[in-house]
Structure 1
Amino acid sequence: MFVASLLASGSLFAAVQPLDRLVAIVDNDLIMQSQLNQRMAEVRQTIQKRDDMPMPDEATLRQQVLERLILESIQLQIGERAAIRINDEELGQAMQTIAARNNLTLEQFRAALAQDGLSFDTAREQVRREMIISRVRQHQVGGRIQVSEQEVQNFLNSEVGKLELSEEYHLAHILVPIAESASTQSVQEATRKATDLYQKLRQGADFAQAAMMVSASESALEGGDMGWRKAAELPSPFDREVSLMRPGDVTEPVRIPGGFVIVKLLEKRGGETPQMRNETHVRHILLRPSEIRSDAETRRLAERLYQRIQNGEDFTELAQRFSEDPGSVREGGDMGWVTADALEPEFRQVMENSPKDLLSKPFQSTYGWHVLQVLDRRSVDNREQIRQQQAFGFLRARKYDEELQAWLRQIRDETYVEIKP
């Protein structure tokens, strides 16, 4: 009524200036010009910070940004209908993480945003929107993706799979040049120079310093650093040599068309490096308090079962009769081989501190009261499982990207969208 009274006054109406206008209707949501302007300003600022990216013309930028806002609105409405919420604690942790990734405290991050002309509250709200959208996508798209064991095995056996999961090497190199038209004497001098340099490096000379002083490669001023490479990306014979090297090793000078090359292995990662995992073979009896059995009564029952096993009764039979763990009761309480990090803290602590074959005294966890027995311990090489997990992750990520684009097109086509002129 207050707004209506203002509009009814001719003099006041003449003084009214439009503060905002509608640019799009997206199902039950509205996108306003102020939102579009703010997002366009943010995108312009991001593009300006990148020297390798040209600024699009205004019409193209507006169209692209508006389309992004439309898709965001659709996903946020899906999240609203699914009751997806991001509480203040989660949002605060996310902002702390973003600040830390930029090597800033939260207050420094706030100041940096202000310096760029951005409001901290606006940035915080945008992060909340992005977190909701991320959860919507995981729920809507993640459930559609299936990766079979056969797909994983086929990928591991393929050339692409072998390349993706092969070992990576952080390398540096020194190039002692030889001109194409070099005389025999010049070649001999380069050979002697490369050999002498190799001996000095073997005796502890600084490789990076030598590269800056001697090398003719483009990376000389970076200490010869070549970055991370896979063996398949290296020319022969380096592809074979680096696989046998340890970090810190240096190759003998190798003649190539441009001269002699000496390579140093700085680091390596991935590949077939042994990954040992500790596992425990354990069995237990779980008793849960309930409406008809109090916590104290449950503890006393656990103590009686402990005593009966100590007196010689069969653990398996008692577990099958009394245990309330649906995952192990049919196996007489046997949980098989487990890793500590997959277990509840109280259970893990007792299991790790229990000698082999010795029955633990009754103890309580969040699930109830337990009696456990460690049957054996072992350390296993986990390389094959890690390779399978890496292959699964690679295939799932690839399928996720494909499925996400298809899903975004689908929800865009199915949603009522009206763009205002």
Structure 2
Amino acid sequence: MSPRSMFKGSLLAGLIATALAAAPAFAQDAAAARPLDGIAAIVDEDVILTSELDRAVANVKAQYANQPGQLPPEDVLRRQVAERLVLVKLQVARANGSGIRVGDQEVNAAIANIAQQNNTTVDGLRQRLAADGLDFDGFRESIRDEITVQRLRQSYAQSRVQVSESEVDAAMAAQANNGTQYHLAHILVGLPDGANAEQIATGQKKIEGVKGLIDRNEMDFSAAAVRYSDSPNALEGGDLGWRSQDEIPQAFAEMLKNMQPGQVVGPIRGPSGFQLLKLVETRDASQAAANTQKVTEYQARHILVRITPVQDADAAKAKIDTLRARVAGGAKFDEVAKESSEDANSKSEGGELGWFPADAYGPDFAKAVTSVGDGEVSAPFRTEAGWHILQREGSRETDVTDQNRRAQVRDTIGRRKLEDEYNRFLQEMRGEAYVDIRTAAAPATGS
């Protein structure tokens, strides 16, 4: 059974969420006149079209349709969104240069998922886009870019982010002593590398002004983050989500011990600039961690007949039927597997797969292994790999509480490290690139 990567997860999760948030914007401004396209920004050898920027701005406005007062002025919003698009262009270019490619089949699958999440079909999504004057090919390319960025981020994590067992041990010990988790938000006023005295003074004056607005209840924290924060999560109200103590820099962790939900502290000077930190709420995670978690595991052997260009599905099915008949006639399963299985990884072991949870090899394999009893041989079944039969050797209930907790802690530490490292990586790319944002003003529309 292969271990699961600490950064494994659906590549589609982020882009589906984006598409869902964007969906209301499809119906926005349908009757409005549309200007001729132009260039909103130049990014190295690529460009951001005005139509791209308009669409992205409309999507953000749709997300804040019920809270329009939280958005900054139009020119500020357009510049914030343009900066996001710049980072996407830079990441896609870096990914392409690293050999990362996203095929049409993956894009088609992602679009089908987005359509399903929006309770429509791909054709229905295409028609909705067309009705709003949005180009389906452009939409496809934006989805391709989203997946590409996710792949680059994963590649970066695998090559740059390592979590040691000692780090996991220390974090688990800390959790045992303090099971509190913190929901945080922040506002960042960024400073350039090597900032001079004047830049530091300007940044400090700005963050103190923002803090004053919040303290005087002239603006809530989320609205201030959207309007003034230089952080990449500004348009999310500066929300940092739930974090355990081991995910928080030590200087902040000490402050949080004495804070009450709703309290804001700062300004705090950090490597990236000045920050305000808000404790939104807390929760006790120790009880959930203490609950016993069990999973049913199975031990099984299998025989695989692959579907290949020279052995089609019908031929593979006929062969697996013959092998199943041999086993039913008294032949030993492991000997047939050694002789005829086309799974190179298990053939020499008589098809032995060891102990694994039912879902380890996909839903079809899970259905087969759970549908037979110990010692029984399944009917032939098909997966993406080809046609199989399996012999279930045993089943057991396994306590995976500690194993799961370690995996969760490892993933948590990895995400924290990745967030810090990847943000620096983005800043470096942005600093090294030629970027000319030509206008942040909204384009004039014709009558």
Q: TM-score range by the shorter chain?
A: 0.5 to 0.7
Q: 1:129 to 1:379 in 2, by over 3 A?
A: same
Distance in 1 (alpha carbons) for counterparts of 2:85 and 2:287: 40
Distance 1:401 1:120, change over 3 A: farther
Q: Is the 8 A contact 2:358 2:365 kept in 1?
A: no
When residues 413 and 284 of structure 1 are mapped into structure 2, their CA distance, relative to the original with a 3 A threshold, is same
Contact 2:39 2:49 (C-alpha < 8 Å) held by counterparts = yes
TM-aligned CA deviation for residue 277 of structure 1: 0.8
Residue 85 of structure 2, aligned match among 55, 58, 69: 69
The CA deviation at 1:75 is: 3.5
Give the 3-state SS of the residue equivalent to 2:91 in structure 1.
helix
Q: Cα distance, 1:76 vs. partner?
A: 4.6
1:133 to 1:378, Cα distance in 2 relative to 1, 3 A: same
3-state SS of paired residue (1:351)? helix
Name the structure 1 match of 2:380. 363
If asked which structure has higher relative contact order (CA below 8 Å, sep 6+), I would say: 2
Query: How far does residue 306 in structure 1 lie from its aligned partner after superposition?
Result: 4.0
Q: Judging changes above 3 Å, is the alpha-carbon distance between structure 1 residues 289 and 165 closer, same or farther for their aligned structure 2 residues?
A: farther
Q: Aligned equivalents of 1:234 and 1:307: distance in 2?
A: 70
Of 321, 327, 330, 1:299 maps to: 321
Deviations along 1:130-181, whole A, 9 cap, x unmatched? 6444322322121222444515533443425764688x9xxxxxxxxxxxxx
CA distance in 1, matches of 2:153, 2:36: 39
Which residue of the partner structure matches residue 137 of structure 1? 149
Matched with 2:414 is 396
| SS of structure 1 residue aligned to 2:85 | helix
Superposition map of 1:281-360 within 5 A: 281-288=299-306, 291=310, 294-295=315-316, 296-309=318-331, 313=332, 315-358=333-376, 360=377
Which residue, out of 370, 374, 377, partners 2:395?
A: 377
Q: Of the candidates 113, 119, 123, which is equivalent to residue 93 of structure 1?
A: 113
CA distance in 2, matches of 1:35, 1:416: 19
Matching of residues 117-266 of structure 1 within 5 Å: 131-145=143-157, 146-151=161-166, 153-159=168-174, 163=178
Q: Provide the alpha-carbon RMSD of the alignment.
A: 4.9
1:37 and 1:287 mapped to 2: Cα distance?
52
Equivalent residue, structure 2, for 1:31: 48
Change (3 A) 1:160 1:385: closer
The verdict on how the C-alpha distance between 1:300 and 1:27 changes in structure 2, with shifts beyond 3 A counting, is same
Cα offset, 1:279, TM superposition: 1.1
In structure 2, list runs of 5 or more residues that go unmatched: 1-34, 184-241, 245-255, 259-282, 440-447
Q: 1:308 Cα shift?
A: 3.8
Q: Please say if residues 305 and 342 of structure 2, whose CA atoms lie closer than 8 Å, have aligned partners that are also in contact.
A: yes
Please give the alpha-carbon distance, in whole angstroms, between the structure 2 residues aligned to 1:229 and 1:141: 21
Normalising by structure 1, we get a TM-score of 0.54
Q: How far 1:286 moved relative to its partner?
A: 3.1
Q: Which moved more, 1:348-357 or 1:122-131?
A: 122-131
Larger Rg: 1
Distance 1:352 1:47 in 2: 47
Q: Distance in 2 between matches of 1:152 and 1:77?
A: 34
Aligned-pair CA distance for 1:325: 2.0
Using the alignment, how far apart are the partners of 1:163 and 1:133 within structure 2? 41
1:249 corresponds to which residue? none
- 1:278 shift after superposition: 0.9
- The farther-off stretch of 375-384 and 79-88 is 79-88
AA in 2 matched with 1:373: Q
Aligned-partner residue type, residue 322 of structure 2? R
Q: Indicate if the aligned counterparts of 2:172 and 2:406 stay in contact, CA closer than 8 A.
A: no
Q: CA 1:234–1:322 in 2, change beyond 3 Å: closer, same or farther?
A: same
Q: Deviations over 1:332-368 (max 9, x none)?
A: 222111221223444433322322223x265242344
Shift of residue 80 of structure 1? 7.0
Indicate if the aligned counterparts of 2:320 and 2:388 stay in contact, CA closer than 8 A.
no
1:376: how far off? 1.7
Contact 1:165 1:270 in 2 (8 A): no
How far apart, CA to CA, are the structure 2 residues paired with 1:289 and 1:19?
51
Report the alpha carbon displacement of residue 391 of structure 1 after superposing the two structures with TM.
Answer: 0.9
Aligned mates of 1:34, 1:371 — CA distance in 2: 54
- Matched residues, number: 296
Structure 1 gap segments, 5+ residues each: 1-17, 169-227, 236-264
Local SS of the residue matching 2:392: strand
Report whether the alignment pairs 1:410 with 2:432.
no
**Mapped partners of 2:53, 2:319: distance in 1:** 64
Q: How high is the TM-score relative to the length of structure 2?
A: 0.51
Assess if the C-alpha contact under 8 Å between 2:305 and 2:319 holds in 1: no
1:19 CA displacement: 5.3
Change (3 A) 1:399 1:164: farther
Does structure 1 conserve the Cα–Cα contact (< 8 Å) formed by 2:368 and 2:381?
A: no
Contact kept? 2:101, 2:148, Cα under 8 Å: no
C-alpha separation in 2, matches of 1:50 and 1:292: 59
Instruction: Spell out, residue by residue over 1:382-403, the C-alpha distance to the aligned partner (whole angstroms, 9 max, x if none).
Output: 2112212211221222122123
Secondary structure of the residue aligned to 1:392 is helix
Aligned residue identity for 1:72: V
- Counterparts of 2:306 and 2:36 in 1: how far apart (Å)? 63
What secondary structure does 2:329 align onto? helix
